[in-house]
Amino acid sequence: MAGVDLRGGTYARAESDFELMRLIRTGIQGTAMPPNDFSQSELTGIVSYLRTMRDVDLSTVTLGDETRGRGLFAGKGACASCHRVGRNGRRTAPDLTDIGAVRTAANLQASLLDPTGSMLPVNRPVRAVLADGTVLNGRRLNEDTYTIQLIDENERLRSLDKAELRELAAGTTSPMAPATDVLDEQEVADVLAYLLSLKGLN
């Protein structure tokens, strides 16, 4: 059965991540694509995977030692100061508990070396200015036509009415610095091996 080539990362019926999630949920009438009852987290994982389905040069990927990578993640790399794995770490950056199941080695390596260049649209940082002038910076969890839910820098969940905001903007620069700012080449390879081992809680 003929289907759409998903490797390009662009789709005729959906431009944004949210449009793509809606398309996956509702399906396409008159085609072989049925509606689906995925949860929001499942949809996010699927879209993240689809956005990274492109031809990559696997010869450029270097994997190190998973055990050393675990230590670097929690220690020198300070990854857990923003990211969460299982019950450990913070929630101000995307949860990485099952990142090894939804991202490829090449995609993860690119994210470590060039966080801004490889940042998925769904992970763009959000800046919201409330009616009283209060500025909230955080990570978007969900959004519809009228509201947006985010987790702020203090890990507080916030649900905001768009009509009551002075300003709402998504940033284009990742708050994460390139891993090479604090880790050497071998250490980056070790962290990559650890990330690939994360397949979700057993």
Residue 2 pLDDT level (bands cut at 50, 70, 90): low
Superfamily of 59-117+177-197 according to CATH: Cytochrome c-like domain (1.10.760.10)
- Pick the closest to residue 129 from 148, 106, 101, 103 (CA basis): 148
Residue range(s) occupied by CATH 1.10.760.10 in the chain: 59-117+177-197
Confidence of residue 1 (pLDDT cuts 50, 70, 90): very low
Say if residue 115's pLDDT is above 70. Answer: yes
Whole-angstrom Cα distance, residue 171 to residue 139? 10
Tell me if 80 sits within 8 A of 73, measured CB to CB.
yes
- Residue intervals of the chain classified under CATH 2.30.30.100 are 125-170
Q: Which CATH architecture has domain 125-170?
A: Roll (2.30)
pTM, two decimals, is 0.72
